[in-house]
Amino acid sequence: MEKIDALRSRLPDDARDLKLNLQSVLTNSSLEPRQRWGVALAVAHALDAPALREAVLGDAAAEVDDATLSDARAAAALMGMNNVYYRFRHFMDHAGAAEDYALPARLRMNRIARPATDKESFELYCLAVSAVAGCELCVTSHEKVVRQAGLSAEQVHDAVRIAAVLAGVATALRFTP
């Protein structure tokens, strides 16, 4: 993890916990390496942190195939759209206006049904990005699919831990020269 280690060295002392957590979540995980790196890539693409994205991409490239790289990008892009739309629907439901917006989404999401890798991994990437975006409907929907596909609660937990740490690192990088 040469690129990640270089990025960790740039983090300020205020983010010491993140330095330790970043190494831990990317090495100690119940996820297989392809899923671990796919989650990290999807989240890194979703966050506005070019240095983080480039470090994750640099180290992941040796560990994953082109299909995983493609699915991570697609998950980040689709969740960029879906997290906004479905969070709005959730807000309107809580505001008592669900009936007003009980309309078809009419948003194309074909890639979710036909990922380049496998459905449970793609859904896991979507789950991690949705956790960062705070979309309850998307998180619960993707969590249900990955659990039904056979992933364990520990694997879901590890994916969200990766997402949480990367989000924290992205924040720390904003106050790093």
Residues that are catalytic: 135, 138
d(CA 68, CA 117): 6
Q: CA-to-CA distance for 37 and 128, rounded, in angstroms?
A: 12
Q: Provide the 8-state DSSP code for 103.
A: S
Chain centroid to Cα 94, Å, comes to 26
Q: Are 8 and 22 in contact (CB under 8 A)?
A: yes
Cα distance between the two ends of the chain: 22
